[in-house]
Every structure is written in structure tokens, then in C-alpha cells.
Amino acid sequence: MEYLLVCATALAAAALTLFSGFGLGTLLLPAFALFFPVDVAIAQTALVHLANNCFKLALFWRQAHARTLLLFGLPAMLAALVGAWLLGRLAAAAPLYAYAAFGREHAVTLVKLVMAVLMAGFAVAELKGSIKGRPMPGGLVAGGLLSGFFGGLSGHQGAFRSAYLLRAGLDKQAFVATGVALACLVDFSRLAVYAGLLVRPEVSGNPGPVVAATLAAFTGSYLSRRWLRKMTLDGVRRLVAGLMLLVALGLALGLI
């Protein structure tokens, strides 16, 4: 049951997130957390996330847009440090609201609420077409700062990254490739934080779930590569906006 649930989640999430640029970690972490302690599940998810992003980069690296990588990636890495520093200061802050549901405790924090409002705003504007053809406020540098800051603060940088890359004038192949390259940079820095967890017996001594989930994610990414050729950029925009609304709802309710 453990392998079946984790692998099914990894395969479906990887297939979906090839287009959106985010969501694998959000979906896979709860699956791992059903069978392992939360801190171990975070490390396992980070390993699968990095491996899958490296696999996607091998498939698409030729289409990555170098200028966007530079203008977006460098500010994102710097802002992630600020976000991680602030996370340490906010760790002891009391949540705005806490409740129990589905046998687990859930908490709504100020950071999650702010992120939910921003994500929902971007998503609704995208779906309404009110920002179609227009660059996002502040351009790529601002997008990198926003994405990196919230990535360091909570790990949910992918949605903001996709929202800005959609307005960068990239075609669908370059959108996917550039997003994957940026995600790899984030994942490498994230693994440095989780280094202590990776040597724990639950992770290093039990590689089966991570290996199985990684292979399932590879399969999902490879299969969805064929669908990318048939999907229009407008279709990608609608998918990203829809997933952003779902993530925003989950954050606002304290579910993720």
C-alpha cells in the first residue's frame, strides 16, 4: 500500500506538473507523510523533486532561455536567503487560526494567508484575461524576488515562478525548460538545508520508497512530454491558473 500510493501520486503529479511548473512537492509530501515522520517525508520529497527536475532538464535543457534564467534566477536565490532567515524569526509565531480535520491538526498562518491572496489574484487575472499579453508587475527581477522570498519562507515558490514566466514572452517549450532549470537551482540549495535529514536511517537506510517514487515521476514526466506538443500556450496558462487557485485555497485553509 505504501509503494502503491506514493508511486501513483508521483506519476500523476509529475505528469501534471510538467506543464504547470509546480505541484509535485505539494502533492507528494502528504503521501510520504502518511507513512513516515514529517521531517523525513520532507527530505524524501526533496530527493524525488530534485531527481525529477534533473530528468526533465535532460529532456528540455536546449530550450531553456538564458537571459530569463539570469534575470529571474539570481534575484530568486538571494531572496530565498532572506525568506529562510525570516522563517527562523516567524517559526514561533502563533497561527491566526488552528483546527483539526481528517485526523490531523491544521493551522492558518499570516504568511500562508498572504501567499494565498497573491496567488488567487494572479490566477483570477490570468483566467479573466486581464493580464493577457502584458508583462507582470516589476518584470523578471521582481518575479524572482517574490518567488525566491516565498520559496525560502515556505517552499511554495513554483506557483509564483510560473505566473511570471508565463508573461516572459516564452513559447511553451521554453516556458517548461526555463522553469525546470530554475527549479533545479532551488532544489540544490534546498538539499543543503536537508543534508542532516538525508543521512537518517529512515531515509538512507530505506531507499526503496524514494527510488520507486522517482521512477514513477520519471514515467509521468516522460509520458506528458508527448502531450506538451499538442497543448497550446493558452492551455498551459489555464492549467497554471487553475492549479494556483487550488494551492491558494489549500494555503488559506491551512491544508498545505
For residue 12, the Cα-to-chain-centroid distance in whole angstroms is 15
Q: Give the burial class of 104: count Cβ atoms within 10 A of its Cβ; 0-12 exposed, 13-18 middle, 19 or more buried.
A: exposed
Query: What does the pLDDT profile of the chain (256 residues) look like in tens digits?
Result: 677 888 998 998 888 887 777 778 778 877 887 788 776 787 788 889 889 989 999 988 888 999 999 999 889 888 888 877 776 676 667 788 888 877 778 888 887 888 788 888 877 876 776 545 555 556 788 888 888 887 777 667 777 888 888 878 888 889 889 998 988 887 777 666 666 767 777 777 778 889 999 999 999 999 888 777 777 767 777 887 888 788 888 888 888 7
Residue 35, C-alpha cell as written in the block: 507513512
Q: Residue 157's closest CA among 37, 92, 77? A: 77
Beta carbons of 157 and 150 less than 8 angstroms apart = yes
Please count the CA atoms within 13 angstroms of the CA of 86 that sit on its side-chain side. Answer: 16
Number of structural domains in the chain: 1
Domain that holds residue 171: 2-252
**Does the global pTM surpass 0.85?**
no
Angle in degrees, CA 2, 8, 9, rounded to 5: 90
d(C-alpha 136, C-alpha 160), whole Å: 11
